[in-house]
Each structure stands twice: as C-alpha cells, then as structure tokens.
Amino acid sequence: MIDMQLKGRDMLSLKNYTKEELEYLIDLGIKIKKNPEKYYDVLKKKTLIMLFEKSSTRTRCSFEAGMAQMGGHAIFLDWQSSQLSIGAELKDEVRSMERYCDVIAARVKKHKTIREIADSVKKPVINMLCEKYHPCQGLGDMMTIKEHIGSLKGKKLVYTGIANNVSNSLVCAGTKLGMKVVLAIPEKDPDAVDVELEKKAKATGLYEETKDLKSAVKDA
C-alpha cells in the first residue's frame, strides 16, 4: 500500500516521489480538509521540531496549526537563537533534536543543508523551503487546483515570474501528474536552477519555457 511506502520517508523535494504517491498525498490532503474531525488525533503524542534558518510567516503558521489541529505538538527553533549561531556542528545539533521528536522540518538557505540534516538523522525530514525546492508549497498548490478543477491530467498550468524554488516544485509535480506546465519567465534565479529536473521535465513533452506571457496563458 502507498501509505506504507511513504511511512518514514524524507521529503526533501518531489523528485523522488512517483505519480501515484503524489496523487495519494494530494487526495489525502483533500480528505483531511473535508472532514477534519476524523483526523483530530492522528498525530497524538507526536512531536515536530521546526528549524528555521530563514524567516517565515505562512510556513510556520501552517505547520504549527496543522500539528495542533491533528493532536500533535510543534516546537519552533530559530537558527539564530540556537547553538548553531555560535558555530555548533549541524549534524551534532540535529542528532540531539531527533531524540525529542518524531519528525524534523527545516527551512534553510541551501539544499545541501537540508541534505546534511537528512543524512545525519534517522527520523524523517521535511524540507520547508530551500533555494532549489519548496515541495510542500508545490503539493499545496496542486491540491488547491484539484479542488477547483478536478482531475489534473491534461490541464495546463502557467507559472509567471522569476523561475525559482516554487516553480521547480510545480514543474516536477505537474509533469508527473500529466499537466502541461508552462513557465512564462523573464529570468531564472541562478541559485534555483536544476538542470536534471529541467531535462526530465522536457523529456515528458509537457514542459515549456517562454518570455511571451500572452501566448503562455492561452487555453490555460
């Protein structure tokens, strides 16, 4: 079963998730939203540690509220108020953190940082944002789109603005789910460029880049 395949998995990006796994997560999110009472205690006695190297408003609120509404507890840890700010080794700090929690989520400046966290601990790690990926944002967007238009397959998704971590996650999820994904972009954030992701997306025949916004949004 897919839920067992997902148990204990890291979510550092959406690249290592299959179409079926993404569909499962999106559909589960919709089910929880429609019937929250059914899930009010599924995270009872579970603790999430949220480590923030970068500032946040919506990410912190959504993760903390989600844990509380489903019976769990979230601990907020600011990078600058921890031992990390005075040179403590990241691997040592997160190994200490995992003794107090069931899952670690981190919002960091560099993907290599979230990768180091995941490599250092046995508990699952969630990427709340790095310079290359924003997987939870990508899933949330796909869930919202599905709520409004139904099946995602064959639909056209247009992203406008600078290509960045969010667009990477949308391209990854969208093409896997059978959507036509068009980036109408004046430029790319150089730190966010993922050549491998772009190559795989283009190979699906469902991915396009353009600077022409008018043509991009046609039939979307």
Round to whole Å and give the CA distance between 163 and 182: 11
148: its two tokens: 């409004």
pLDDT in tens, the chain (220 residues): 787 789 999 999 999 999 999 999 999 999 999 999 999 999 999 999 999 999 999 999 999 999 999 999 999 999 999 999 999 999 999 999 999 999 999 999 999 999 999 999 999 999 999 999 999 999 999 999 999 999 999 999 999 999 999 999 999 999 999 999 999 999 999 999 999 999 999 999 999 999 999 889 988 8
Pick from 6, 21, 9, 82: nearest CA to 49: 82
For residue 4, the model assigns a pLDDT of 79
Q: Which CATH number fits domain 2-129: 3.40.50.1370, 3.40.640.10, 1.20.1440.230, 3.30.420.10?
A: 3.40.50.1370
For residue 3, the model assigns a pLDDT of 79
Domain 135-213 sits in CATH at 3.40.50.1370
Partners of 188 in the β-ladder: 163
For residue 80, the model assigns a pLDDT of 94
DSSP helix/strand/coil, 210: strand
Q: Hey, where are the domains in the chain? A: 2-129, 135-213
pLDDT tens readout for residues 98-155: 999 999 999 999 999 999 999 999 999 999 999 999 999 999 999 999 999 999 999 9
Domain 2-129 and domain 135-213 have a common topology: yes
For residue 106, the model assigns a pLDDT of 99
Round to whole Å and give the CA distance between 188 and 195: 12
For residue 219, the model assigns a pLDDT of 84
Q: Which long-range contacts (CB under 8 A, 24 or more apart) does 139-143 make?
A: 139/14, 139/22, 139/25, 139/26, 139/29, 139/169, 139/173, 140/29, 141/170, 142/22, 142/26, 142/170, 142/173, 142/174, 142/177, 143/26, 143/29, 143/30
Count the Cβ atoms, other than its own, within 10 Å of residue 112. Answer: 12
Round to whole Å and give the CA distance between 60 and 3: 25
Round to whole Å and give the CA distance between 138 and 133: 9
Question: Furthest-apart CA pair in the chain: how many Å?
Answer: 53
Q: Are 164 and 50 in contact (CB under 8 A)?
A: no
